[in-house]
A and B are shown apart, each in its own frame.
Chain A
């Protein structure tokens, strides 16, 4: 049986998982990615290489990240918007990597699952004033088998025997993790003692990092420390490109990189015909397919829907609900640090190896009532990670803006690197209709199209939760053996203070998280949501969304595992034609990854010939009809 052809826009977490599952099921798949490929050997038979190194300079030079000079984004607060300010900032807003593999090319690979209560936030805990809270149209139990398959394919490490009872009650698991945890970071061990002293439970953070040699043909992590925010030099970290797209390409999917999609073309009011894109030379093409999947991120997907407005969809494609671009959520991190007498070398290892689930909530302290809120929720707390030399140097420049010996002496004594153990709570933020992505009316990108404009202000919920949980996080630091000082950072308060604050700015809050969600929410009612439980647009029968856009609530958890699992669920719907698909519709037999576990060496780009990667996927599918325009 000929399967329908599929076009996927974006090769990040959702796009790569979709490509993998649909290719395995026999669908002809083409992926259009606006970034370039930085992983030599991707999709080939030779070992994967890496263009990434332990290189802080490159990490700050738009190597894998979107270049804000070419593709800026703009930002303003709800207050700015109310007085008609078009934008208050132009530059880097939440720039996830723009490259083959998307954000997972340099993610921290943390893979918690959402909890049962997250899918039923409204019915479980009731409304929050001023928030656009709703239940998801699917449940934890619907999604659990897909989480399981993603985690086994990607190689998520962990230890079910060390997970707290409430976590396993809220997010039950069918089996032990596919591999054991990484060696624990020393600073995390120390802070785990502080947590235990206060009655909290720290356990190994599930993460897509090889703790064993050879899983999926990739090496064991050697704890180099250049992890979150850095591409992996040895491909020990799993992710969209190496764990899914690589196998999709080997199975015949076609990847076209440096292709910027600017419009979804329609065959009729409720059927997409394909997309139009600009190739690397700026030449416009139109390619058709039976199914179109948007997986461009919760920033770019709503932008593309809005840019695809037409006579049948005058306010943007699939936007009759007026929810496209709205309910933008970033997570509301509460950060902190404890300083110790010893050199804890917290920079070594995959950023953090411990997580605490005791601040997820909901909690109903008097502070909630005082803030006019029915309850508070925080999120998972990760701790024990450190900062590197570059972050340290920029921190001290707050005190010494002209550098000099004072700055250098701090670099030598290193109070905020050698002696620091950090902590970070992923705070749940409320969906608000006024927090949104729309098209900037004045600023265009290098392609000549309007850039995404973010309008965002924190809800009282996040501010109150940060103020409530923050001191409790700092107390863990203070209770840790050897701690000399501990403090939490109310990031949101800094974000609200504006550019005059020497340590914060309007862009310190939303602009710098790597979690983007909510801008094309799922739901059963076409009047209040954009896609259904299968991630299919209510108004366009063959248009699907596979990224953080579809989130209804943010939860207090790193979102990528959920983005991937939702994409796999979506693929199961497509493959089975059933809105309640059997999990067997997607690949990944229980207990065994679908790929080789033979160890393969990782070799340098020079030895491999970087050009080899570009030649991959040269075969074209007859099913995708290309129309030169």
Chain B
């Protein structure tokens, strides 16, 4: 896609129509997400619908049908649909529609453990340097010399536009319909096709962004209803309350079921993943934070 068209899409689809959201309006924005058939912050209505269908397979919930990724009896807990993960990814892609951009939530405290003001909703301003990095990350280097000092970079916006288009094209060629209109089994057949490396790279990117959206603080747009913290029994942000000495030093009661010995022996085989993986600039989604290395 040439720069002119990209710029047009950005202007018409996002900034031009929706305008910049003033600070302090983040919570209002999250309370009124775009519905099916509505354009998002960056993605068109069609693109957002396709992304929704993708996200719902990656973290299925009770309304998402059976398939390879969600075999019967299905997941009783909320998933990407209920948590609004696709909508959160769209907010990231359109982060610069907001001032400050919705990249880094504020601190130190949300209003979930005491304070009446939610600092997380006051996003931190990017300075000129940080803004350039995030413009490159989201918009790509676009052939601009000030962005291509280390070579061209494909932005996340282009990754999603191209990835969603590829998903639909593949769906059309294999099943004669757009991805969102396929059965859940057909969708999963496409997503698990290891022979399509382009698609697998895109799924890797989307999965990494979906994890941010469902397991991160809700101020980024996902994890609505604290969906991702419920079924994982995760407390999320706990400041300024923290934990009592007893909660730190004694076993205490837990809603997490006991681990079966056979499950432990199976799970320990994943331990090498604790070594983590640093991300090259060409595949940042592949990063895995290591167990403590400092």
| Residues of chain A within 8 A of B254, CB atoms compared | 342-343, 345, 418
Minimum CB–CB distance for A192 against chain B, Å: 12
The verdict on A403 contacting B210 (CB below 8 Å), with A54-B239, A108-B292, A223-B248 known, is: yes
Question: Which parts of A400-416 form the interface with B (CB within 8 Å)?
Answer: 401-416
Minimum CB–CB distance for A206 against chain B, Å: 15
Question: Which parts of B118-144 form the interface with A (CB within 8 Å)?
Answer: 119-120, 122, 124-125, 127-130, 132-133, 136-137
Please report the C-alpha to C-alpha distance between residue A403 and residue B210 in the assembled complex, in whole angstroms: 10
Q: Per-residue CB proximity of A220-262 to B under 8 Å, as 1/0?
A: 0111111011010110000000000000000000000010000
Contact stretch, chosen from B2-10, B28-36, B42-50, B260-268 = B260-268
Contact stretch, chosen from A140-148, A267-275, A359-367, A438-446 = A438-446
The answer on a CB contact under 8 Å between B109 and A233 is yes
Please report the C-alpha to C-alpha distance between residue A91 and residue B137 in the assembled complex, in whole angstroms: 13
Question: Which parts of B247-294 form the interface with A (CB within 8 Å)?
Answer: 247-252, 254, 256-259, 261, 263-282, 284, 287-294
Chief secondary structure at chain A's binding surface: loop
The answer on a CB contact under 8 Å between B292 and A605 is no
Cβ-defined partner of A391 (8 Å) among B77, B203, B291:
B291
The answer on a CB contact under 8 Å between B239 and A401 is no
Does A397 lie at the interface of the complex (its beta carbon under 8 Å from any beta carbon of B)? yes
Cβ-defined partner of B249 (8 Å) among A107, A185, A418, A509:
A185
Does B169 lie at the interface of the complex (its beta carbon under 8 Å from any beta carbon of A)? no
Does A355 lie at the interface of the complex (its beta carbon under 8 Å from any beta carbon of B)? no
Question: Which parts of A181-222 form the interface with B (CB within 8 Å)?
Answer: 182-186, 189, 221-222
- Give B129's nearest chain A residue, CB to CB: A258
| Residues of chain B within 8 A of A399, CB atoms compared | 270
Question: Which parts of A247-303 form the interface with B (CB within 8 Å)?
Answer: 258, 280-281
The total of chain B residues at the interface (CB under 8 A) is 110
Please report the C-alpha to C-alpha distance between residue A185 and residue B245 in the assembled complex, in whole angstroms: 9
Q: Per-residue CB proximity of A588-607 to B under 8 Å, as 1/0?
A: 00000000000000101111
The answer on a CB contact under 8 Å between A401 and B203 is yes
Question: B107, B210, B243, B268 — which one has the most chain A CB atoms within 10 A of its CB?
Answer: B107
The verdict on A604 contacting B107 (CB below 8 Å), with A62-B133, A336-B271, A504-B275 known, is: yes
The answer on a CB contact under 8 Å between B273 and A348 is no
| Residues of chain A within 8 A of B74, CB atoms compared | 405
| Residues of chain A within 8 A of B58, CB atoms compared | 402-404
Cβ-defined partner of B106 (8 Å) among A53, A224, A234, A487:
A53
Chief secondary structure at chain B's binding surface: loop
The answer on a CB contact under 8 Å between A349 and B282 is no
- Can you spell out 28 A-B residue pairs with CB atoms less than 8 angstroms apart? A50-B107, A52-B108, A53-B217, A61-B104, A67-B130, A69-B136, A92-B280, A92-B287, A224-B242, A231-B107, A233-B239, A280-B128, A343-B256, A345-B247, A394-B208, A394-B287, A395-B274, A402-B188, A408-B75, A424-B291, A424-B293, A448-B149, A484-B264, A489-B272, A494-B272, A503-B273, A507-B277, A604-B115
Interface residues of A, Cβ cutoff 8 Å to B: 36, 49-58, 60-63, 67-70, 72, 89-93, 103, 107-108, 182-186, 189, 221-226, 228-229, 231, 233-234, 258, 280-281, 333, 335-337, 339-345, 348-349, 351-352, 382, 385, 387, 389-391, 393-399, 401-416, 418-419, 422, 424, 443-446, 448, 451, 484-487, 489, 491, 494-495, 503-505, 507-509, 511-515, 558, 602, 604-607, 610
